[in-house]
Amino acid sequence: MSWYFQLPIKIKLLISFALIMILTIIISIFAVQSMRSSQEVATYINRTLNDQYQPVARMSTAMIAVQRETDLFIAKVDQAVKSGAKLNSSVDADLRASMQELAAAASALDNDQFPQQIAFLKKSASDINSIYQNDITPMLNAGQYHEGMLKFQMDVPKYFSPVYSNLDEIRTAQLNEVIHQSGVLTDTTGLYGVVTLTLISLVVAIAIAILSARYIKNALALAMQNLTYLEQYDFSKQAQSPYQDEFGQLNNTVEDLRQKLREVISIIANITDNVSSAMKSAQESTTRLSKNASESESRTISIAAATDEMVATTQDIAKNCETAANLAQDTSNKTNEGKGKAQESINMIHVQVQQTQENSKQIDAMIKQSRSIASIVDTINEISAQTNLLALNAAIEAARAGDAGRGFAVVADEVRALANRTGSSTNEIAQKIDLIEQDANGATESMNRALSGISDLADDTAGLESVLNEIFEHVEKVAAQITQIATAAEEQTTATNEISSNMQNLTSSSREVAQIATETQKDIDITSGELARLVKTMSAFKLQ
């Protein structure tokens, strides 16, 4: 039967239904014929028994009773005659009753198949009753029992043999007809044998139908098992189908879908892992950027405070120089005190120079870090573009899969939207970093100029000590020197104010960098959360 299971389902169903219909029609025809023949035979036998055989049997029984009562009557009369006993009027009571029954049985005979025999039987019964009523009864009433007996022996018994003969003919003919109909019934029984064989064939057809149904059930169970594996996100299992028909094609189609979905999910899983790793790196870089920006802001604020202090100091120097011009006469008395203050100014200027150099180095480091961040942002942009491309490919593959890939299309769209959002955020970060680099470069140039001015101031202040040593000899030159110092102090104040302004701008830029880094950190956290959800979703798929 293996060839049968390799046929298409449509052919199998047509064969089963056609076989069942043919056998059903054959059974119906034979059953109708058998029922019709059986009904005819049963009707005939019933009619024969009820309408023909029973009246004849009654006639035969009545005739036997008449013969028996006749013999009894003759015996009674003969005994009475021999013994000289007197007979009473009831001696023929049983005989009269049997005569009446014979007349009733004869009148009940009515059969078109045996008209002569029935007519003879009716006439014989009528003659016997007539002889008994017209001839025998008057003699018995007159007490002529012996004469009546002799008359009865001579006239009545001669009817017995012909009556029995006609009854036998009728019964024989009826029996032959019953036998003939029984033969017909026997032939009908043969038809029942044919019907039995037909029923056996029907059982075979039903068995084929049951086997086909079981085959369809098993094939559907295999297909449902494969679909259940897909529903459970289990791509590592497969229920092999041994069939080559439509069910086998269905299982092969499901297997192709499983392989394609497995490939797509593997690609998405790899992309998710790569994006997750990249997002972790971006998150760490953004954290460092935010931390460095905060530190830069703090240091810039410190530099701005020091610059403000420098402005105040140079203003004090200018005031002191003006006071020194007015109090030149007191300079000699306060030379030692001036030398000490000059030394303090020199030390303070050196400190400011060192701080300014340190700030310049920090700004250079911040520029380098900004460039490093820009490199990281470029990497994130490349990852985002690759993620967008891979998500687009995944969406195309999911669209090819039809309804079964609709869920993967949604995941691919979410990944693509996430990649676009990441690219937009990184572009904003890159723009902010460019602004920071520009501001930092400007601040560096300003710091260099301030450093040059402070160095000049340090050189000028270094000569103050020698001037103070010679102050006694060059009192007349003090005013001119103090004027020069005042002029330098004013220039220093101007440069310091410019540095303070630049430091404020740098502080603002650092604050913006910190804010952008914080926002980027939030976006990366959101993206990381979405990636975590995606990773969790992808972990539900079993590929091995």
- Domain boundary among the residues 155, 186, 219 is at 219
Residue 267 counted as domain residue: no
Residue 327 counted as domain residue: yes
Residue 452 counted as domain residue: yes
Of 354, 325, 320, 357, the C-alpha closest to 340 is: 320
Tell me, yes or no, whether 399 and 522 share the same domain.
Answer: yes
C-alpha atoms less than 13 angstroms from C-alpha of 73 in its C-beta half-sphere: 32
Give the integer Cα–Cα distance in Å for 171 and 135. Answer: 32
- Domain boundary among the residues 219, 234, 264 is at 219
- Domain boundary among the residues 189, 219, 249 is at 219
Determine the pLDDT at residue 64: 85
Residue 281 counted as domain residue: no
Residue 243 counted as domain residue: no
Tell me, yes or no, whether 496 and 408 share the same domain.
Answer: yes
For the chain (544 residues), the mean pLDDT of every run of 10, in chain order, is 63 71 69 61 57 72 82 78 68 77 77 75 84 82 77 81 82 73 54 65 73 71 71 65 64 71 71 70 69 68 66 66 65 65 69 70 72 73 76 76 71 74 76 74 71 66 64 63 67 68 68 72 74 66 58
Supply the DSSP symbol for 245: S
Residue 252 counted as domain residue: no
Tell me, yes or no, whether 212 and 299 share the same domain.
Answer: no
> What contacts 371, CB < 8 A, 6 or more positions away?
433, 437
Domain range for residue 304?
A: 293-539
Phi-psi region of 111 (alpha: psi -120 to 50; beta: other; left: phi over 0): beta
Q: What is the DSSP string of 462-528?
A: HHHHHHHHTTTT-GGGHHHHHHHHHHHHHHHHHHHHHHHHHHHHHHHHHHHHHHHHHHHHHHHHHHH
Q: How many domains does the chain have?
A: 2
Tell me, yes or no, whether 493 and 377 share the same domain.
Answer: yes
Tell me, yes or no, whether 203 and 345 share the same domain.
Answer: no
Query: Quick check: 51 and 113 in contact, CB under 8 A?
Result: no
Tell me, yes or no, whether 30 and 115 share the same domain.
Answer: yes
What CATH number has the domain bearing residue 459?
Answer: 1.10.287.950
pTM above 0.95, yes or no: no
Tens digits of residue pLDDT in 345-370: 667 767 766 776 776 677 677 767 76
Tell me, yes or no, whether 210 and 325 share the same domain.
Answer: no
Residue 224 counted as domain residue: no
Phi, psi angles (nearest 5°) of residue 542: -105, 115
Query: Quick check: 259 and 237 in contact, CB under 8 A?
Result: no
Tell me, yes or no, whether 323 and 188 share the same domain.
Answer: no
Residue 261 counted as domain residue: no
